[in-house]
Amino acid sequence: MGRKGIRYSVEQKLFFINLVLKNDLKIKRVACRYHLDHHNLKRWINLYQRLGPDGLENSHTQQVVSWDTKTKIIRRYLND
């Protein structure tokens, strides 16, 4: 059985992410207006903030993160 739902391109995901981050709109408001699942939008934003645009390529598959990236994330977390 195939996967249900709509697949969004990286450009589309960036459009929705920018509405939230740059235009200071609420996640649920953007999701409702564009008929998105707000959990997906929140996940895309988290991936974008952690990994940049490359993190949005296949956000539905398990991400392989390099040791350097993991170390940066941990250091950033510990310094906050």
Report if residue 3 sits inside a domain: no
Average model confidence (pLDDT) across the chain: 87
pTM: 0.65
With beta carbons less than 8 A apart as the criterion, state whether 30 and 57 touch: no
Domain membership of residue 39 as a residue range: 10-79
Report if residue 29 sits inside a domain: yes
Find the radius of gyration of the CA atoms of the chain: 14
For 22, the token pair is 């740059």
For 27, the token pair is 């996640």
Report if residue 5 sits inside a domain: no
Report if residue 31 sits inside a domain: yes
Number of domains in the chain: 1
Report if residue 74 sits inside a domain: yes
pLDDT higher than 50, residue 31: yes
Report if residue 4 sits inside a domain: no
pLDDT higher than 90, residue 35: yes
Residues 44-77: pLDDT tens digits? 999 999 989 988 886 455 567 889 989 999 999 9
Report if residue 49 sits inside a domain: yes
Report if residue 43 sits inside a domain: yes
